[in-house]
């Protein structure tokens, strides 16, 4: 018979859960309904109108009789009639006496159908009394359970396959990132060496001394970020980790959770210098008056620096030439905040709900200012990790944007 052909491929794909369900349903049929023989036949996906005849016995009872999984010629006819096939192959290997015996049984052939997909057949026989209405409806319910279970099993194996593809893709991306990191390291070291050389040649009183120091500091920051990224990769918590079919995401971010105390003034002081230098090119005035006394907040210094520098960079980036950026320290209850105000383009109301989402750029997506839409997402995540808060006001008193970040004061 044609339907026995690829029995191995299907049988080896069956999960233990599905077989356990078959067993439970067959017990119901034999113990409650006195079925003498039960067979569950499965097929590959086939729409109702053109089913495949590739039926493979997946589970049968009793399992001791090796002949029973085969369907008789007559049964195959019934099956094919049910599903509109007209070609029947004769099975000469089926013992003649078995066929006659089978025909004497009260036999039900129930299609396993779920969402119009034909998944196979449930065949039930018993030699005593014919089946009554109630029993038939019970068999129908059992067939439905089997069809649903089979369909779940199929979608599960589809997801497993997709997961394997995803895993391959991630490995490939990891490889690319490794190469990129490797290639970045050399020019970065060169940049730092040149900056150091330059620093030696410039007198401390020279105005450019500060600029070179800033180049050196920023390249150190880049080096630290690269090192941290590589360490995270090594310690096996790379960007995406697939474990037992579960996808868990560990973002590459700075260790913001640290409850260390950090002086905001020291951080802003450094950032202000580079901000003024960058803003000069656009004739933007950057204002920020801070005393000499430290202002301590709870949070990791690298994370705080990342947050403030992103917000200042954005303020300058999204403010047209000749504009203004103000940086202030403010206080409320147990919080210490930093307020960054610009006279720039502002953030439209409809963008404000999404602006902290990864890769969301709102109106600027269509503009000419380059960006990735990652900065604010990182800022928000870091602030939340530090148990801080972030507020957005746009338009502000200068018709631009204001961001306020609050940290727990120490």
> Which residues of the chain form contacts with ligand ADP (CB under 6 A)?
314-315, 318, 342, 344-347, 355, 361-364, 371-377, 401
Q: Shortest distance, CB of residue 355 to ligand ADP, whole angstroms? A: 5
Closest separation between CB of residue 21 and ligand ADP, Å? Answer: 49
- In whole angstroms, give the CA distance from residue 327 to residue 298: 20
Least separation, in Å, of the C-beta of 373 and ligand ADP? 4
Cβ–Cβ < 8 Å for 160, 153? no
* CB closer to ligand ADP out of 112 and 284: 284
CB neighbour class for 392 (10 Å; exposed up to 12, middle 13-18, buried from 19)? middle
CB of 16 to ligand ADP, least distance (A): 48
Q: How far is the CB of 222 from ligand ADP (least distance, A)?
A: 17
Q: Residue 150 or 361: which CB sits closer to ligand ADP?
A: 361
Shortest Å, Cβ 349 to ligand ADP: 12
Comparison of 236 and 372: residue with beta carbon closer to ligand ADP: 372
Closer Cβ to ligand ADP, 180 or 363, answer by number: 363
Q: Helix, strand, or coil here: 324?
A: strand
How far is it, in rounded angstroms, from Cα 108 to Cα 121?
10
Which residues have CB under 8 Å from 326's CB, separation 6+?
A: 287, 288, 339, 340, 341, 342
At its nearest, how many Å lie between ligand ADP and the CB of residue 348? 9
Distance, in Å, from the CA atom of 265 to the CA atom of 295, rounded to the nearest integer, reads 6
DSSP-derived pairing of the beta strands 117-126 and 37-42: antiparallel
- Least Å distance between CB 316 and ligand ADP? 8
User: Is residue 33 within 8 Å of 139, Cβ to Cβ?
Assistant: yes
In this structure, is the dihedral angle defined by the CA atoms of residues 227, 228, 233 and 235, taken in order, positive or negative?
Answer: positive
In Å, how far are 3, 6, 109, 150, 394 from 117, measured between CA atoms? 18, 20, 17, 11, 54
Give 298 or 314: the residue with its C-beta nearer to ligand ADP.
314
Instruction: Report in angstroms how near the CB of residue 272 gets to ligand ADP at its nearest.
Output: 17
Per-residue tokens: 219: 């390249």
- CA dihedral sign of residues 301, 302, 303, 305: positive
C-alpha span between 324 and 380 (Å, rounded): 24
Q: Cβ 346 to ligand ADP, closest distance in Å?
A: 6
Query: Which CB, 153 or 342, lies closer to ligand ADP?
Result: 342
Minimum distance between the CB of residue 44 and ligand ADP, rounded to whole angstroms? 48
Which lies closer to ligand ADP via its Cβ, residue 170 or residue 392? 392
Cβ nearer to ligand ADP, comparing 180 with 369 = 369
CA distance 15 to 157: 10
Please, which residues bridge with residue 59 across strands?
Answer: 40
Measure CA 298 to chain center. 31
CA 188 to chain centre: 32
Specify the residue, 197 or 374, whose C-beta has the smaller distance to ligand ADP.
374
Residue 354: asked if its preceding bond is cis (omega within 30°), the reply is: no
Containing 218, the helix (H) or strand (E) segment is helix 208-234
Strands 37-42 and 246-249: unpaired
Q: For ligand ADP, give the closer residue by CB, 271 or 355.
A: 355
**277, 214 Cβ separation under 8 angstroms:** yes
Nearer Cβ to ligand ADP (53/343): 343
* Tokens (6 digits) for 41: 């036949």
């Amino acid at each position: 018979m044609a339907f026995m052909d690829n029995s191995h491929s299907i049988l080896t794909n069956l999960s233990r859960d599905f077989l356990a369900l078959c067993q439970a349903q067959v017990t119901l049929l034999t113990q409650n309904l006195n079925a003498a023989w039960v067979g569950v036949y499965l097929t590959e996906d086939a729409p109702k109108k053109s089913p495949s005849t590739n039926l493979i016995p997946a589970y049968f009872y009793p399992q001791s009789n090796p002949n029973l999984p085969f369907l008789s010629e007559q049964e195959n006819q019934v099956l094919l009639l049910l599903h509109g096939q007209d070609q029947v192959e004769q099975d000469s290997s089926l013992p003649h006496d078995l066929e006659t015996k089978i025909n004497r049984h009260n036999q039900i052939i129930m299609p396993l159908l779920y969402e119009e997909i034909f998944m196979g057949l449930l065949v039930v026989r018993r030699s005593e009394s014919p089946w009554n209405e109630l029993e038939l409806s019970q068999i129908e319910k059992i067939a439905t359970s089997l069809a649903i279970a089979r369909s779940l099993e199929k979608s599960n194996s589809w997801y497993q396959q997709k997961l394997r593809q995803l895993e391959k893709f991630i490995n490939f991306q990891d490889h690319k990132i490794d190469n990129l990191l490797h290639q970045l390291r050399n020019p970065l070291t060169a940049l730092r060496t040149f900056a150091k050389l330059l620093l030696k040649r410039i007198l401390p009183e020279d105005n450019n001394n500060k600029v070179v120091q800033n180049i050196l500091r920023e390249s150190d920051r880049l080096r630290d970020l690269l090192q941290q990224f590589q360490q995270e990769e090594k310690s096996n918590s790379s960007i995406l980790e697939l474990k037992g079919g579960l996808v868990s995401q560990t973002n590459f971010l700075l260790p913001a959770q640290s409850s260390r105390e950090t002086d905001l003034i020291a951080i802003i002081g450094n950032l202000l210098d580079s901000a003024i230098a960058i803003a000069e090119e656009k004739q933007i005035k950057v204002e920020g008056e801070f005393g000499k006394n430290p202002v301590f907040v709870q949070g990791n210094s690298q994370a705080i620096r990342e947050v403030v520098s992103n917000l200042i960079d954005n303020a300058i980036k999204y403010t047209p030439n000749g504009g203004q950026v103000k940086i202030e320290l403010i206080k409320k209850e147990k919080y210490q905040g930093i307020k960054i105000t610009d006279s720039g383009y502002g953030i439209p109301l409809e963008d404000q709900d999404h602006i902290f989402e990864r890769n969301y750029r709102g109106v600027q997506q269509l503009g000419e200012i380059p960006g990735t839409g990652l900065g604010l997402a990182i800022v928000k995540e870091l602030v939340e990790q530090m148990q801080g808060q972030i507020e957005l006001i746009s338009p502000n008193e200068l018709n631009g944007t204001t961001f306020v970040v609050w940290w727990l004061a120490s």
